[in-house]
Amino acid sequence: MLRVKICGLTLAADAAAAVAFGANALGFNFFPGSKRYLSTGVAREWIAALPGDIEKVGILVNPSWEEANAIAALPGITALQLHGSETPEFCGRLMDTGVRFEKAVPVTGPDSVANLPDFLTRTVLLDSGGLGEFGGTGRTFPWEIARDFVQANPDLRVILAGGLTPENVAEAVALVGPFGVDVTSGVESSPGRKDHGRMRAFVAAARGS
């Protein structure tokens, strides 16, 4: 089944609704520079209380070694999403310590995904991006780049992100054939606040139901 991740969650009620609508992964932004920043102190209890079969991903941007391990150890968190310029060496250390993670890659053109280094994870998230941006931009990138990347890397689990909405996600999935899709701003009423009707519509459209 297509992995559908609702990202940038800041409220327990929104996370519970995303699960009820059929999302099988949730994302929580622990990067202080984000409009959707979530304090670990505020979120610790309700993230831990979410269903155990749901992926709960902590998003970080250029974390220190200590920060990455602290977020990975939070109750309920099942993996990290690295959204900065983390090196393969840093990723290798995480792998060696048993921390699950996925690596986000900003796509600004075909060269963005050419000759990617080995980040030592099978899960790669392709997102729109620019200077100083780390996801949640609401902009798409040419999906043909993602399609070609998926076809050239059959062993990778490619997550498509960047400007996806209930209105365009079915087209994106049909063209790219990703392992999963990731949405943030496309289902929001304001940064960090989810529109429940749009979340429900997104999950249904992504899976063609």
What residues act catalytically? 7, 127
Whether 189 contacts 11, CB under 8 Å: no
CA-nearest of 55, 79, 75, 40 to 5 is 55
CA distances from 157 to 47, 121, 151, 191 (A): 25, 9, 11, 28
- What tokens were used for 67? 């920060």
**What CA dihedral angle connects 119, 124, 126 and 127, to 10 degrees?**
-80
